[in-house]
Structure 1
Amino acid sequence: MPPRRPPARRPAPPDHGLDLFDERPPPPRPRRPRQPPPDESPTEIIHLEDDYEYDDYDDYPENADEERAEPEYIEPPDDGEPVETRRKRKPLRWLVALVVLALIGGGAWYGIDAVFGYDDFEGSGESDVLIEISAGDSTGAIGQELAGAGVVASAKAFVKASEDNSKVLSLQPGYYVVKTKMSGAAAVAKLTQDGSRVGVLQVRAGTQLDDITQPDGTVTPGVFTLLSKASCAQLNGQSTCIPVEQLRDTAAKADLAALGAPDWAVPVVSGSTDARRIEGLVAPGVYDVKPGWSAEELLGYVLKTSATRIQAAGLTASSKFQGRSPYETLIVASLIEREGVKQDFENIGQVIYNRLAQNMRLQLDSTVNYLLDKPVVTTTDDDRNRPGPYNTYKIPGLPPTPISSPSPEAIQAAEEPTQGTYVYFVKCEKNGLSCFASDLPEHEQNKTLARQRGAY
């Protein structure tokens, strides 16, 4: 193997003295790794007679540097621009670069400000305003609602203030009284304080339209009173309350179809001018009504929502049991609701349908007490002898209207009662459970048992 020989260095070009006028620095001389010279003849192999071994650069031959190739200097393209012009352009380029950097930095700061900065009002606000929180609204969605109503300066002001108040996460859907131009913190505090939510109407199963006076003298509010209270709010010193009498007058005279009552109920009750004609058409549940609505708007919202709930409970225009119409089924459901507890609903339905089928008078104390606005399930002789369309001791068949707001369970029991021979029942337990009988002697025994147990 032939020894490696360092490449020869090319002699430097002659100095003609022209570099005095050339301000360009000489190009750097790159160091090239020692390697054997390229084989210039691909077909001929040259064998060297002498072997060279060099341990140090000092042992190189004297002409080694002369034989090493010198990198060739390449002239830059001449675009005809004077050197002095290029010199003047350098500061301009630096200036442009600084401007670009300033613009980039300003854009970055604007982006940071857009993400982390936000507008916010100061203080606790100015004038009252109602806002609505919908089911499933996030904190950001509530902030957007507030910002759109002019309550807060930006949604982010509310979101940031909410981070320190966990009560925001438990806000219920509905209407709230707040003020315009509130700080984010003030808006959070206002929404989460007691009394800010307004327009809440809660109707329990078995509630009737008018108030009921309890045996101890206390009054249980009916639907009209509950709706009147739900309509109330104080907005900038003005009350939005709709009086009970105005609600009753609207219920008696308004177009029920326009208010949203079920189609199958409208033909039956439209001819009446009694406010009780909408009895039973208000389904149990919670309603969010807006303070400031008129009586027509309030009743319309409640009846439309109720029609949907009644249908969801299974009572539709095609519902029929033993040839009874949907409205008659609703009446039966209201009787079941007022006469017993849920465990007995299906059996009470059996009793009612068996009595109707046998042309027996229903003889229900709940119907007698309906006109008397009494909640008890017992009656006196005077009560039972008092004439009237709801006295089922005197009048055969069903009463003209429902007597309460039946629950979905009562509606289901009216559509699917148990099958049997029961025609009597009496409350025989203090917890409200009833005892059922197929004949009068058995029924009398149950009544005696009920008295012994102190059921009534």
Structure 2
Amino acid sequence: MSGDDLGLFTDPEADERRPVRKRDRERDNARAKAKKRKKTVLWLVVALVLAVGLGGAYYGYQELRGIGSFEDYPGAGETDTIVEVQDGDVVSKIASTLQENDVVASSTAFIQASKTDARVTSIQPGFYLMKTKMSGQTAVAKMIDPKTRVPAVQIVGGLKLTDIQANGKTVAGVYSQLAAASCTEKDGAKKCLSVEEIKAAAEQTDPVALGVPDWAIADVKAAEPQFRLEGLIMRGVYQVKPGVSAVELIRSVIVASAQKLQGAGIPGGTLNTGFRPYEVLVIASLIEKEAIEKDFAQVSQVIYNRIAKPMPLQFDSTINYRNNQPHIRTSDADRNANQPYNTYKNQGLTPTPIGSPSQQAIAAAIKPSGGDIEYFVKCQTDGTSCFSKTYEEHQAKDQKAQRDGVY
């Protein structure tokens, strides 16, 4: 043991006075800086979280505040305008159409207003007389008002292009109905196309420009101008846009009818009939005039059999068409007259149809009943016809019908 192993001669303050090593000092400084950096990063994280949270909250607040906010005109409207609702249009599509025509400021304005009235979901296809710059609520009220919708044109089976005077009353023809549907009242002034304007456009305009289908072009060009479009507007309902030209009006109806005719089988279903599509249309118009629906197929068979024989059709309806008469019977003078619609003197079909055919008449023209019948006569007061194979049989049924007071 050395003399100072017990520390008896060691100065207790010697360590305190001993210089701190450099390495230890650098270590302590590094620890302090690291601790400071951790605190700084922590505060930055906290600040970032707060910033994101406050920003998200503000954005959410802005979004919530925007709910129900949309462009909407304040008034009842300014100038008149026509809008069309097409088949299958839902409320959102109607709203878009109204916005495109500046009826409403936004589609949302109409959609939101429509939620208060379930009748909006029942708006029918057609044209509607509206006003520009209407509020959504006013537009909804206007659209569900029956008076706003432009009346459709209803073409019945057998209707002619021109009017017929019957029993002191006028049966409005296709042209008259189109003229009435062309009327529009804009800013208090009513304006319509006249029957003369429509008739002139129908007779003088190129058939292609009028929308006449390809299968009918040659026959339409060959026909007398006043009869050229007869039968091309088949039975049905047509939506007509007011305020357009006579040519555009006729074209819209002819094109719509061509689609109906195609659905009814013209031209596609005529391939095996032995007749051209236009001839089938003529046959259908004759059937429509000569019989009631339950007898259509049999009258069609009579036509087929007489043309095949050949034998004149001898239909009073064709003579009355040319003479613009509503009578069922004709006089001897009428039946002896030389004119192309006299099927007593001329064999075969008439140059054009003699009225608007229905889908049922077209179906019968494409597919007759079959059999060898060649005659028929109205034999019951409800319009039912009796059919015969021979002239003698036909005469007997004709005389009985007269005795029974059928005609």
Which residue of 251, 254, 265 maps to 1:303?
A: 254
Which residue of 322, 335, 340 maps to 2:291?
A: 340
Offset of residue 199 of structure 1: 6.1
Taking the aligned partners of 1:175 and 1:104, their CA distance within structure 2 comes to: 48
Q: Is the 2:265–2:362 contact (alpha carbons within 8 Å) kept by the matching residues of 1?
A: yes
Q: Is the 2:232–2:258 contact (alpha carbons within 8 Å) kept by the matching residues of 1?
A: yes
Which residue of 304, 325, 346 maps to 1:374?
A: 325
Taking the aligned partners of 2:237 and 2:250, their CA distance within structure 1 comes to: 14
Offset of residue 269 of structure 1: 2.5
Residue identity over aligned pairs, in percent, reads 41
Which residue of 228, 235, 241 maps to 1:284?
A: 235
Taking the aligned partners of 2:62 and 2:151, their CA distance within structure 1 comes to: 43
Which residue of 229, 252, 263 maps to 1:312?
A: 263
**Residue 218 of structure 2: SS of its match in structure 1?**
helix
- Aligned equivalent of 1:212: 164
Change (3 A) 1:150 1:318: closer
TM alignment of 1:29-428, pairs within 5 A: 78-79=32-33, 100-198=52-150, 200-215=152-167, 217-316=168-267, 319-320=270-271, 323-428=274-379
> What is the aligned length?
378
Taking the aligned partners of 2:170 and 2:58, their CA distance within structure 1 comes to: 69
Offset of residue 453 of structure 1: 4.0
TM-score where L is the length of structure 1: 0.75
Q: Is the 1:240–1:291 contact (alpha carbons within 8 Å) kept by the matching residues of 2?
A: no
Taking the aligned partners of 1:342 and 1:186, their CA distance within structure 2 comes to: 46
Gaps of 5+ in 2: 1-28
Gaps of 5+ in 1: 1-74
Taking the aligned partners of 2:141 and 2:269, their CA distance within structure 1 comes to: 50
Change (3 A) 1:321 1:453: farther
One-letter code aligned to 1:377: I
Post-superposition CA distance 1:192-224 (Å, at most 9, x none): 112211262222222111112222x22221111
Offset of residue 274 of structure 1: 1.3
Which residue of 367, 370, 391 maps to 1:440?
A: 391
Change (3 A) 1:160 1:208: same
Alpha-carbon RMSD = 2.9
Taking the aligned partners of 1:219 and 1:387, their CA distance within structure 2 comes to: 28
Q: Is the 2:223–2:352 contact (alpha carbons within 8 Å) kept by the matching residues of 1?
A: no
TM-score where L is the length of structure 2: 0.84
One-letter code aligned to 1:342: E
Higher fraction of helix: 2
Taking the aligned partners of 1:421 and 1:93, their CA distance within structure 2 comes to: 100
Taking the aligned partners of 2:275 and 2:106, their CA distance within structure 1 comes to: 58
One-letter code aligned to 2:241: K
Q: Which 10-residue stretch deviates more, 348-357 or 320-329? A: 320-329
